[in-house]
Structure 1
């Protein structure tokens, strides 16, 4: 697998996980236990932050690769 393909897969999977987390949050409210809800919301928030960090690192790597690409017009 090439780096570009791996980058795209990582970003896609992070997006999928983040969308699933959004579906999870409304369900948490039905647990009827404040302490548990707060812990789960906090964990969900932290997971979402970590997913964003992963995506940003991959994007940073992609930009670094693009900057290092040969843009010469010489033959």
Structure 2
């Protein structure tokens, strides 16, 4: 199986969306009472943090990547 590169932005987004699902599941099962708008800040914060992590990861990998010069000699 080929290895893939670690993408922390997707991990963060997945964790926050899973947390939002768990909040709704707890509300549906009657464990707690949740206002309908409670999940909006959770999802918004998760997407914001995922975007920040993705941007930081891109910047770090771009800086660490060796500079590729034109391989054709003229």
What is the TM-score with the length of structure 1 in the denominator? Answer: 0.53
Instruction: Give the direction of change, closer, same or farther, for the CA distance of 1:13–1:53 in structure 2 (3 Å limit).
Output: closer
Higher helix proportion: 1
Q: Name the Cα RMSD after superposition.
A: 3.1
Q: Once the 2 structures are TM-superposed, how far is the Cα of residue 26 of structure 1 from its aligned partner?
A: 4.5
d(CA) in 2 for partners of 1:67, 1:13: 21
d(CA) in 2 for partners of 1:66, 1:46: 30
Aligned match of 2:52: 57
Q: What secondary structure is seen at the aligned counterpart in 1 of 2:68?
A: coil
Count of paired positions: 63
**Corresponding residue to 1:66 among 55, 61, 67:** 61
d(CA) in 1 for partners of 2:54, 2:39: 23
Q: Which has the larger radius of gyration?
A: 2
Q: Which runs of 5+ in 1 are unaligned?
A: none
What is the TM-score with the length of structure 2 in the denominator? Answer: 0.54
